[in-house]
Amino acid sequence: MKKKSGILIVILSIFVTAVLWGSSKPTRTIPVVTQYSELLASLALLAFAFINFISTRNKILDDIFDGLDKSYIYHKYLSISALLLVVIHDITISIGKRVQRSEGIRIPRDPYAMYGSFSLYLFVILILAAILLKKLNYERWKNIHKFMIIAYAMGIYHYYGSSDYAALSFSVFSIWMNIVNIIGILSAVYSVFIYERAAFKYRFKVSKLNVVANGTLEITGSSLGKSMSFKPGQFAFLKINGGKNNFTSHPFTISEAPKEDEIQFTIKGLGDHTKDLFETLKVGDEFSVEGPHGKFDYKNGLKDQIWIAGGIGVTPFRSFLQGDIPQNYSIDFFYAYNNSEEGAYVEELKTLVNNKNVRLHLVNSKEKGFLTVDKIFQEVKITEKFDVYFCGPKPMREALKKQFESSKVSLNELHYENFQFK
pLDDT in tens, 11-54: 999 999 999 999 999 888 888 999 999 999 999 999 999 999 99
Segment among 100-109, 159-168, 170-179, 265-274 with least mean pLDDT? 265-274
What is the spatial distance between Cα 315 and Cα 230, in angstroms, rounded to a whole number? 14
CB atoms within 10 A of CB 116: 22
420, pLDDT greater than 60: no
Asked if the model's pLDDT at residue 140 lies above 70, the reply is no
Return d(Cα 332, Cα 356) in angstroms, integer.
Answer: 11
One-character DSSP codes across 395-420: HHHHHHHHHHHHS-S-EEEEE-----
Give the per-residue pLDDT at 1: 44
Label residue 207 exposed, middle or buried (CB < 10 Å: 0-12, 13-18, 19+): middle
Distance of CA 39 to the CA centre of its chain: 28
Neighbours of 251 (CB within 10 A): 18
**Which pLDDT band holds residue 339 (cuts at 50, 70, 90)?**
confident
Q: Provide the CB-side half-sphere exposure for 134 (13 A, CA).
A: 9
Q: Is 336 helix (H, G, I), strand (E, B) or coil?
A: strand
Q: Are residues 40 and 92 in contact, defined by beta-carbon separation less than 8 angstroms?
A: yes
The answer to whether 247 and 273 have CB atoms below 8 angstroms apart is yes
Radius of gyration, CA atoms only, the chain: 25
Helix axes 172-189, 148-162, angle to 10 degrees: 160
Number of CB atoms found within 10 A of residue 416's CB: 18
- The residues facing 359 across adjacent strands are 332
Alpha helices (H) along 217-325 = 272-280, 315-322
Question: pLDDT-derived band of residue 422, with 50, 70 and 90 as boundaries?
Answer: very low
What's the rounded Cα separation, in Å, for the pair 255 and 317?
A: 8
In the predicted structure, residue 263 carries a pLDDT above the cut 90: yes
Tell me, what's the pLDDT at 227? 86
Q: Give the pLDDT confidence score for residue 349 in this predicted structure.
A: 92
Model confidence at 141: pLDDT above 70? no
Q: Give the angle 342-344-347 at the CA atoms, nearest 5°.
A: 120
Residue 421 predicted with pLDDT over 50: no
* Cα separation, 141 vs 327, whole angstroms: 46
Average pLDDT over residues 94-103: 86
Tell me the HSE value of 331 on the side-chain side, using a 13 A CA sphere.
29
Please give the Cα distance from 331 to 304 (Å, whole number): 6
Does residue 385 sit in helix, strand or coil? coil
Domains and CATH numbers, the chain: 2-198 (1.20.120), 202-293 (2.40.30.10), 298-415 (3.40.50.80)
Q: Could you tell me which residues come within 8 angstroms of residue 162 by beta carbon, excluding any fewer than 6 positions away?
A: 110, 112, 113, 116
Taking the chain, what is the end-to-end CA distance rounded to the nearest angstrom? 33
- Decide: helix, strand or coil at residue 5: helix
Identify the burial level of 157 via C-beta atoms within 10 angstroms of its C-beta, where 0-12 means exposed, 13-18 middle and 19 or more buried.
middle
Rounded mean pLDDT of the chain?
86
Q: Stretch 181-194: mean pLDDT, rounded? A: 94
Contact yes or no for 56/191 (Cβ under 8 A): yes
pLDDT at 2: 55
- How far is residue 48's CA from residue 78's CA, in Å, rounded to a whole number? 8
DSSP H helices, 323-388, are 346-352, 365-368, 373-379
pLDDT digits (tens, 9 = 90+) for 268-321: 876 556 667 777 888 999 999 999 999 999 999 999 999 999 988 999 999 999
Q: Answer yes or no: are the C-beta atoms of 386 and 304 closer than 8 Å.
A: yes
- Residue 400 burial (10 A CB sphere; 0-12, 13-18, 19+): buried
CB burial class (10 A; 0-12, 13-18, 19+) of residue 271? middle
Is the per-residue pLDDT at 386 higher than 90? yes
pLDDT tops 70 at residue 3: no
Reported as a single tens digit per residue, the pLDDT across 216-255 is 899 999 999 888 999 999 999 998 887 665 567 788 999 9
